[in-house]
Structure 1
Amino acid sequence: MTVRIGFAGDVMLGRLVDRRQERRAVDAVWGDLLERLRGLDGLIVNLECCLSTRGEPWTRTDRPFHFRADPDWTIPALERAGVDVCALANNHVLDYEEVALEDTLERLDEAGIERAGAGRSLDEALEPAVISLTGGGTAAGGEDLAVAVVSFTDNTPEYAADENSPGTARIEIDVENEGTRALVRESLERAREALSTSDADSSLLVASLHWGPNMVERPPDSFREFGRWLVEEGVGVVHGHSAHVPQGIEVHEGRPICYDAGDFVDDYAVDSRLRNDRSFLFTLVVEGGDPRELRLTPTEIDDCRVLEADPEAAEWSRERVRELSGEFGTEFEREGEELVVDLGLE
């Protein structure tokens, strides 16, 4: 029995998305992808905003954008899509200061949506999100998979948590940096300890990274080195985001490194060349704890909601990710509208 885990890039529910949702159903933000999302065995996203109606915009340093969304609709929306884990290590969780971050943590916890990468202290930010998934959706008798997610960012140093202050699990993306290695290994060890106590049939480690600048199509060599190091440390899939556009996929030791998943839903201005309104839902198929294949379903953003991409947009996205991934030696098969990476594990 296989377990299918969905990964989405930036989910930014604030600003115009928040205002648009005042006049439509809470799950309208997921467009015609809602049933596809609900049909997954698990779903992991980068939550690119705080969930609160409180707080004042961060002004201690220059911040051009501030993202906040009303939890009264966003929490039900996340629940209806079946979101299991929100990665919070990013450059927007403190946009409305500590009180809004506190609201975000509390509302996710109340809803039973796991989170990682931010907290009331660095110790909390390093804690993994741990979930148990059953293959075959909600059907009984499937394979149980325990999944632990750790989350880090190299963005916005002023949002970094420390021993006494809330914020993100921030690192430098540098495998030679002793502090980086120590923090990541500590978080991974906590994840392994949590997985060791699970009664699931198998387990998977996920690293979700909000890294690098916006609107960049290729990861730097330091990111490639870091992604491969994570795999060598036992990570089963690297879930990258931050660039607003999908980057290539590299397969290292049979594990996929998705350098950037792009934008899943937001209200951002669209670059006519980079097309940051086009991306994918990434679905990892896992069997016995081993990733077997990665499936890419083309998506596009319209009217502050995510949709299955129309044929022209889908073909554009497929060709672009083929080109970028080909630079890493990654090849795809086409199955219907999806691209499929065979991860080569026997």
Structure 2
Amino acid sequence: MEIAFVGDVMLGRLVADELRRHPPEHPWGDALRLLRRADVLVGNLEFVLSSDGRPWPGKTFHFRADPAAVASLEAAGFDLVSVANNHVLDFGWDAAAESLATLASHGIRFAGAGEDLEAAQRPAVLERAGLRVGMLAFTDNEPGWAAGPGAPGVHHVPPDPRDPRAAALFESVARARDHADLLVVSAHWGGNWGVDVPPTHRAFARALVDAGADVVFGHSPHIPRGVEVIRGRPVLYSAGDFVDDYAVDPVERNDRSFVFVLRADGGVPVELRLHPTEIGDCRVRLAGASAERIASEMSRRCAVLGTRATWDGARRCLVVGLEPGTH
């Protein structure tokens, strides 16, 4: 079983313009073959699929695409997406509800937002090759969007183990173990910039693994942060930006990221491969001449977290071994 993870996916604005002129496969460039090769593809959806709604007041950026853009997600092969983030309500709840309904009608499972707190907390589960893969999703962004017992919104959880919302999340993780052979917890957390992992995130990731998470899939920062391995379970503190139309910071290079491919054996993570990618002209592509440079920087970020990531020239990717003695 191979599960591919990619960071923030934004198909609105200029990317949406490109989609009107090109086929649905266009945003994925030559990374498409890598995405389609995975048994399960997971990402964070940073826009809504809707033609309705008004921009949320007070926000600077609002991202959406026509519901027909779901064909692009299908073309890539997305199976599970997180919608617990700071853009799912960019055009209000009705637009978000339309987006979630569109995903559901096309067989793309989602987690992290819903018509009430119970729905937002609900794990998404799918079965592939006899293995049940589940995902819970939360965010610490936009506290005003938090779902409640009778109110729609996102699964909002501050990354503080002492917070009662965190305690409820840990209980949800433990319960989800009964329904999944491999459990992912998606975390849209922290600010947009900086390669250093906050100590609070490291402590919270450890608590999630203690509760039963097999993978912690982090995003929100526009750049990838290092990977930590906790008792054989990979923690992706930030997967970065995968495809968008954003301006590029010349230092932090938010146009560079990875396809993170996890190999699991019977639900147990065995190996993580990081395939370097770059964004150009609203389209992602596998990194060419810059691949080793991107990988080298990521290797240093992993080393700070005690993780050994080695370059595999034949497969053109970084490799993190997850079995005992490999990191």
TM class by smaller structure: over 0.9
Name the counterpart of 1:39: 37
Q: SS at 1:46's partner residue?
A: strand
Of 189, 211, 227, the residue aligned with 2:189 is: 211
Distance in 2, Cα, partners of 1:288 & 1:22: 41
State the match for 1:199 in structure 2: none
Q: Corresponding residue for 2:54? A: 56
Q: Would you say the 8 A contact 2:56–2:89 is kept in 1?
A: yes
Structure 1 position 19, deviation (Å): 1.4
Q: Secondary structure at the match of 2:179?
A: helix
Alpha carbons 1:128, 1:190 under 8 Å: kept: no
Matched residue SS, 1:339 = strand
Partner residue in 1 for 2:116? 121
Asked if 1:94 is matched to 2:89, the reply is: yes
The residue aligned with 1:67 is 63
Q: Deviations over 1:95-130 (max 9, x none)?
A: 000111011111011001100000111110000010
Alignment partners' CA distance in 2, 1:52 and 1:193 = 34
- Measured after TM superposition, the shift of residue 345 of structure 1 is 4.2
Aligned-pair Cα RMSD in Å: 1.2
Describe the SS at the equivalent of 2:318: strand
Q: Quick check: 1:127–1:190 contact (8 Å CA) kept in 2? A: no
What letter is aligned with 1:238?
V
Identity %: 47
- Residue 145 (structure 1) aligned with residue 131 (structure 2): yes
Q: Could you say which residue in structure 2 is the equivalent of 1:133?
A: 128
Q: How does 1:274-293 map to 2 (within 5 A)?
A: 274-293=252-271
Where does residue 27 of structure 2 map in the other structure? Answer: 29
- Give runs of aligned pairs for residues 139-218 of structure 1, distance below 5 A: 144-182=130-168, 184-195=169-180, 203-218=181-196
Structure 2: any 5+ residue segments left out of the alignment? none
Deviation, 1:190, is 4.4
Q: How far off is 1:192 after superposition?
A: 2.5
The alignment status of 1:325 with 2:325, answered yes or no, reads: no
Matched residue type, 2:56:
W
1:4-55 CA distance string (max 9 Å, x none): 0000000011111111211111110111111211111100000011110110
Contact kept in structure 2, 1:26 and 1:76, CA below 8 Å = yes
Deviation at 1:247, TM superposition (A): 0.3
Q: Deviation above 3 Å: which 4+ runs of structure 1?
A: none
SS in 1 for 2:245: coil
Unaligned runs of 5+ in 1: 135-143, 196-202
Amino acid in the other structure paired with 1:63? K
> How many angstroms does 1:185 deviate by?
2.6
The AA in structure 2 aligned to 1:240 is: G
Give how far 1:288 is off. 1.5
Instruction: Name the residue aligned to 1:138.
Output: none
Q: Does 1:341 align with 2:326?
A: no
Whichever residue aligns with residue 333 of structure 1, its letter is: T
